[in-house]
């Protein structure tokens, strides 16, 4: 999300919102990290909430369609697809596991178990990775690409509101 998302976000005119929007897949714990560090009303908070809402609405539909196409293609084992389905939020996991189970009904119990395990693992590990790796890397990358710091952006935003 940093390598591909940040340049696109900057090209469409996002500023500090890009930090919140692009540092992770913006699941519930990632929203909490941004709100705790920057505040709900901050530009980063607006970015993370925008991506969270888009992920819940569009991500569930997209993961359902993609999982169904991949399951029908036969390229991947159904248990591998189940692990991939668990990467997103609970709503995305449910949306992605349904078409996999429809294609492979004999694996239903294993698909549900592995998708749930993958969801738990990515939630726990994602908190630490987001907090200690991706958020600091995102802030440095944003500063590098824009040549600005958070303090400069906030000062300019405050001056524009006066």
Does the pLDDT value for residue 1 go beyond 80? Answer: no
At 82, the pLDDT band (50, 70, 90 cuts) reads: very high
pLDDT score of 26: 66
Does the pLDDT value for residue 158 go beyond 80? Answer: no
Judged by DSSP in three states, 75 sits in: coil
pLDDT tens by residue, 14-71? 988 999 988 887 678 888 999 999 998 899 999 999 888 888 888 889 989 999 999 9
Does the pLDDT value for residue 135 go beyond 80? Answer: yes
Cβ-count burial of 44 within 10 angstroms (0-12 exposed, 13-18 middle, 19+ buried)? Answer: buried
Does the pLDDT value for residue 77 go beyond 70? Answer: yes
Does the pLDDT value for residue 89 go beyond 90? Answer: no
Q: Average model confidence (pLDDT) for the chain? A: 89
What does the buried/exposed string (b/e) look like for 101-129 if buried means 16 or more CB atoms within 10 Å of the residue's CB? bebbeebeeebbebbbebbeebbeebbee
Alpha-carbon distance values, 10 to 4, 16, 85, 143 (Å): 11, 9, 29, 12
Taking the C-alpha atoms of residue 43 and residue 153, their distance in angstroms, rounded to an integer, is: 10
Longest alpha-carbon distance in the chain = 64
pLDDT score of 29: 86
Structural domain boundaries of the chain?
A: 2-146
Among 88-92, 97-101, 110-114, the range scoring the smallest mean pLDDT is: 88-92
Q: What number is the average pLDDT over the span 91-110?
A: 93
Output DSSP code: residue 74. Answer: T
pLDDT score of 90: 83
């Amino acid at each position: 999300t940093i390598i591909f998302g940040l340049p696109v976000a900057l090209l469409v005119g996002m500023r500090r919102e890009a930090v919140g929007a692009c540092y992770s897949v913006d699941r519930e714990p990632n929203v909490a990290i941004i709100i705790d560090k920057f505040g709900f009303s901050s530009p980063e908070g607006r970015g993370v909430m925008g991506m969270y809402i888009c992920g819940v609405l569009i991500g569930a539909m997209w993961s359902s369609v993609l999982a169904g196409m991949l399951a029908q293609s036969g390229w991947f084992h159904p248990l591998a697809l189940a692990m991939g389905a668990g990467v997103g939020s609970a709503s995305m996991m449910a949306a992605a596991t349904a078409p996999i189970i429809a294609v492979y009904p004999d694996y239903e119990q294993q698909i549900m178990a592995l998708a749930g395990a993958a969801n738990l693992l990515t939630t726990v590990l994602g908190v630490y990775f987001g907090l200690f790796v991706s958020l600091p890397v995102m802030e440095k990358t944003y500063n590098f690409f824009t040549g600005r710091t958070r303090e400069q952006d906030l000062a300019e935003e405050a001056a524009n509101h006066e």
